[in-house]
Structure 1
Amino acid sequence: MNTKTVLITGTSSGIGLATAVAAARSGWHVVATMRDTAKAGVLLAAAQEAGVSVEVRTLDVTDPASVSACLAGLDRLDALVNNAGAGHVGTLEQESVEDVRAVMEVNFFGVLHVTKAALPLLRASKGRVVTVSSVGGVVGQPFNEAYCAAKFAVEGFMESLAPVAATVGVAVSVVEPGAVASEFVGNVGGRGTLLEQAGPYAPALHAYIERTRKAFDNAQTPEQAAAAIIEALTVDRPVFRVQTSDAARQFSATKIADLDGSAVLALTGSWIR
């Protein structure tokens, strides 16, 4: 009866999958959600190997009806981990505003849909909201304009929500991974068509992709990133902002100490020259 329940979005792979297994191993009842439950096999196999079980539910974070249906059957919720999201590489001149809107729908409005629906349950349990952001929510990065915009929005929204939620007993945190070895890495590295269509931006895009491949050579594992999320779920006094590695902390610190923006632009500009 004392087992706490956590709902985690985007658990079919990567950080979400690792967090679901780690949370179950830590004694949580895990509601592991994903848009397509036909992809649950890898998660269920990992849970079985770890000697734990998870409850899999369908959830499309961009569909309010799906969000409502997923949460409708929960009598109790002690924590929400907003993890579902999607990477995106591109630049404004060469993509449509609709492309940017789609990135915002998944990475920003999806977080809002689920958090809004979960808050009544979290108020009742004095629970926690942990949202997986990115160092891209702190430092804008070349060819990640839409993705970083969405993550900046997540960070601003959650930073503003945190003191309000605290008045009703709900703790709000964001977790900022840097490079994590997941499917996102392959998606960034295999952009042959994007390069072919880059036109005047091709040299800069090629330099960015090469730099990104090298950055991911020493990427964290999803399990290492998940450990920071589990700590945010369980620590007695959660802080608002958590980085998942020393590299992420150092990168984020560049922005925090850069009052006029010159240090950040010098750093990120060097990636595409």
Structure 2
Amino acid sequence: MPPARKNELVVVSGASTGIGAATVRELASLGYHVLAGVRTDQEADAVRGEGVEPVTLDITVAGHIDALAERVAGDPEGRVLRALVNNAGIEVNAPVEALPLETWREQFEVNLFGHVAVIQKLLPFLRKSRGRIVNISSVGGVAALPIFGAYAGTKFALEAASDALRREVKAQGIQVVVVQPGGVQTEMAAHSGDISLGLADRMGAEHQRLYGDLVRSTVASNAAFLKRALPAAKAGAKVARVVTAARPRTRYTLGTDAAFIVPLARFLPDRLMDRVLTRGRRRAG
């Protein structure tokens, strides 16, 4: 472990569970001092440890982001900010027609605008250190499954913002890397199916007729896949390697499904990709 790492900070948002928590543990084991973004005292107690300092961070709250910037600026040991890992996210899946607009907006607030707000506030520190931004996107950022329109929309947007940012800050010595996980065994993934089924149960009769079978079959298919999906610990270890790689690529996939789907989305015609992504998912009506 290079000794210099002990004198560097890394910020990870969405650090309470899943990929975020695993990334925090891995980076701390490498000797970084990790500022782990959590939302509650209970989450803070769960992640606190050697090299891990919980910070209250709801990325939709400007005051939390300001406090984070003040913490980085006032580090008692004068450590520089080496990297920012934008991992926080929410996932609520339902057909485009049936998902309430406020839920669309909430997902964009967390999965896109919150990350942009953190990036804007921390870029001056990364400019000084010639540091790195790692944006956790999704395979959904290149290929949208049925009922994943809102979530995938946020990730498509994050992919575009990351591309623009990478080209804007390259001359400043800042690297921007996108990580595209497929299925990963996380709490968010485990609960998303129940959320979708709950929303489907509350749909009106016409939406039930049009989309009920599609929602249930999609949830069942995803639940079956998650049983053999990439464990969060392995995903976090790979994200940590992306953070520390000497010459990182601009994009990395996580999991066999992402490694398969991402190239297909680039080269297959839309109609053929439609068949790949909807195979086994039944439609009513």
User: Which TM bucket (shorter chain)?
Assistant: over 0.9
Residue number in structure 1 paired with 2:201: 196
Counterpart among 39, 42, 52 of residue 38 in structure 1: 42
Residue number in structure 2 paired with 1:240: 250
Identity %: 30
For the 8 Å contact 1:195–1:202, the answer to whether it is kept is yes
Q: Which moved more, 1:137-146 or 1:62-71?
A: 62-71
Residue number in structure 2 paired with 1:268: 277
For the 8 Å contact 1:8–1:80, the answer to whether it is kept is yes
Distance in 2 between the 1:204 and 1:245 partners? 25
For the 8 Å contact 2:47–2:54, the answer to whether it is kept is no
Q: CA deviation at 1:60?
A: 1.1
TM normalised by structure 1 equals 0.93
- Deviations along 1:185-239, whole A, 9 cap, x unmatched? 3212324422323412101111101111111111111111112211111111111
Quickly say closer, same or farther: Cα 1:163–1:238, change in 2 above 3 A.
Answer: same
For the 8 Å contact 2:140–2:156, the answer to whether it is kept is yes
Counterpart among 64, 71, 74 of residue 72 in structure 2: 74
Counterpart among 92, 95, 98 of residue 94 in structure 1: 98
Distance in 1 between the 2:144 and 2:228 partners? 21
Which amino acid in 2 is paired with 1:253? P
Residue number in structure 2 paired with 1:131: 135
Distance in 2 between the 1:31 and 1:70 partners? 9
Q: Which moved more, 1:263-272 or 1:199-208?
A: 263-272
User: Any stretches of 5+ residues in structure 1 without a counterpart?
Assistant: none
Task: Work out whether 1:215 is the aligned partner of 2:225.
Answer: yes
Aligned with 1:172: secondary structure? strand
Task: Work out whether 1:8 is the aligned partner of 2:19.
Answer: no
Report runs of 4+ in structure 1 exceeding 4 Å deviation: none
Aligned with 1:6: secondary structure? strand
Quickly say closer, same or farther: Cα 1:92–1:245, change in 2 above 3 A.
Answer: closer
- Deviations along 1:6-58, whole A, 9 cap, x unmatched? 000011111111100100001111111112233223223xx4xxxx3311111
Q: CA deviation at 1:271?
A: 4.3
Residue number in structure 2 paired with 1:28: 32
Residue number in structure 1 paired with 2:153: 149
Distance in 1 between the 2:142 and 2:40 partners? 30
User: Any stretches of 5+ residues in structure 2 without a counterpart?
Assistant: 74-79
TM normalised by structure 2 equals 0.89
For the 8 Å contact 2:182–2:256, the answer to whether it is kept is no
Aligned-residue RMSD, C-alpha = 1.5
- Deviations along 1:131-158, whole A, 9 cap, x unmatched? 1111011111111111000000000110
Task: Work out whether 1:229 is the aligned partner of 2:227.
Answer: no
Distance in 1 between the 2:241 and 2:51 partners? 20
